Amino acid sequence: MGDMAVSNSIGSNVFDILIGLGLPWALQTLAVDYGSYIHLNSRGLIYSVALLLASLFVAVCGVHLNKWKLDKKLGLTCLFLYSIFLCISILTEFNVFTFVNLPMCRGGI
């Protein structure tokens, strides 16, 4: 069932970017409040989308270089690369690499 696993890894990234982000924003700007703008809290979204597209590219290239076979070596490589993606995404949101989020309020007076 390697073809199902590869389809899931590729399809989930495309679904996240196009449907998970695009559809709600399109509904907001076209149906709820026509001509409005979407204001994002995080300027790190562009980095996350770029990382998702890069992971999609790496997954397809990895499967192609492995002669379209999903084995233990490729699976462990994908898990390792996914952990790197998570670490980079989390560190970006915490302003480690660059300043993308405003400081949070402390909540007390």
pLDDT at 28: 87
Burial of 93 from C-beta contacts in 10 A (0-12 / 13-18 / 19+): middle
105: pLDDT confidence band, cut at 50, 70 and 90? low
Q: What is the 3-state secondary structure (H, E, C) of 30-88?
A: HHHCCCCCCCCCCCCHHHHHHHHHHHHHHHHHHHHHCCCCCCHHHHHHHHHHHHHHHHH
The yes-or-no verdict on residue 106 having pLDDT over 80 is no
Taking the whole predicted model, whether its pTM rises above 0.95 is answered as no
pLDDT tens-digit map of 29-85: 888 888 888 777 667 777 777 887 788 788 888 888 988 887 899 889 888 988 988
The pLDDT of residue 98 is 78
Q: Is the pLDDT of residue 104 over 70?
A: no
Identify the pLDDT of residue 103: 66
What are 1-33's pLDDT values in tens digits? Answer: 766 766 776 777 677 777 887 888 888 888 888
